[in-house]
Amino acid sequence: MVSLLLLSYGVIFTIFILRTAFVLYQINFCPGPLNIKAKSAKTMIVLGSGGHTTEMFKLLSTLNFEKYYPRIYVVTYSDPLSQGKVAEFEKGDGYAVEKVPRSRKVGQSYFTSVFTFLWACVGSCRIVVHHLPDVILCNGPGICLPLILFMLLLRVFSLKQNRIVYVESFCRVKTLSLTGKILYRLVDDFVVNWKELSHMYPRAIYVGRLF
């Protein structure tokens, strides 16, 4: 009985690993256009603080709001400034604001950040499962890591097809940020603002300065 149970767990784990490998293979070697049957794509937008938020709103100013609708903004509990900027930017309805714990504070040790990251995962899982976005757009804040993780899991379990778009910060000219290095192989579209980075990282997309 025990051996049969262990065999079942082993089969489930093997299927999970193979399915994850297949999704990552698709992302890295078989990229395709976002396939959404609806007229608009539910879009999740991750806001950091300070420069990250400023850059994101510059990018959003070029967005076709009729196509990317409704919009879900994700901010941290410790960042009321970004939430206020959302209210200034959005003139009508069609958007929501969700809050998550910060996954890692500036200067926080890597050891303690493991626990804050796990706590951030709890809030991120709730938001992703509740909204099931078609697209997630982020530009570097650490809070995007657990959100993207659960977006990938939706695809691994065939619960929701989605598109993950990462735009590297404007200040990153010759090297990627830590978040960028982690997500380089995990996102569908990895966009950079400097041509030098597109030469160093073959998957990077350079379409000119976005910010």
> SS3 for 22?
helix
What pLDDT is attached to residue 48?
83
CATH number, domain 34-206, options 3.40.640.10, 3.30.1490.110, 2.40.110.10, 3.40.50.2000: 3.40.50.2000
> SS3 for 164?
strand
Mean pLDDT, rounded, for 41-64: 90
What pLDDT is attached to residue 52?
84
Answer whether residue 35 shows pLDDT above 80.
no
For the chain, the structural domain boundaries read: 1-30, 34-206
pLDDT (tens digit per residue) in 94-112: 899 999 988 766 667 777 7
Answer whether residue 38 shows pLDDT above 70.
no
Q: Is 107 left (phi over 0), alpha (psi -120 to 50) or beta?
A: left
The answer to which of 50-54, 145-149, 152-156, 199-203 has the lowest mean pLDDT is: 50-54
Distance CA 80, CA 168 (A): 23
Task: Look over the chain and give the mean of its residue pLDDT values, rounded to a whole number.
Answer: 88
DSSP symbols for 77-134: TT-HHHHHHHHHH--SSSEEEEEE--S--TT--HHHHHHHHHHHHHHHHHHHHHH--S
Answer whether residue 150 shows pLDDT above 90.
yes
Distance CA 106, CA 200 (A): 27
Confidence of residue 92 (pLDDT cuts 50, 70, 90): confident
pTM over 0.85: yes
pLDDT (tens digit per residue) in 198-209: 999 999 999 877
Contacts of 45 (CB under 8 A, 6+ apart): 56, 60, 71, 72, 73, 74, 136, 137, 138
Contacts of 193 (CB under 8 A, 6+ apart): 167, 168, 169, 170, 172, 206, 209, 210, 211
Residue with tokens 């967005």: 63
What pLDDT is attached to residue 211?
58
What pLDDT is attached to residue 157?
95
Quick one: tokens of 17?
Answer: 């690993």
> SS3 for 211?
coil
What pLDDT is attached to residue 126?
95
What pLDDT is attached to residue 30?
83
Mean pLDDT, rounded, for 173-189: 93
pLDDT (tens digit per residue) in 55-74: 999 999 988 888 999 999 99
Higher pLDDT, residue 143 or 32: 143
What pLDDT is attached to residue 34?
57
Answer whether residue 36 shows pLDDT above 60.
no
pLDDT (tens digit per residue) in 113-127: 788 888 889 999 999
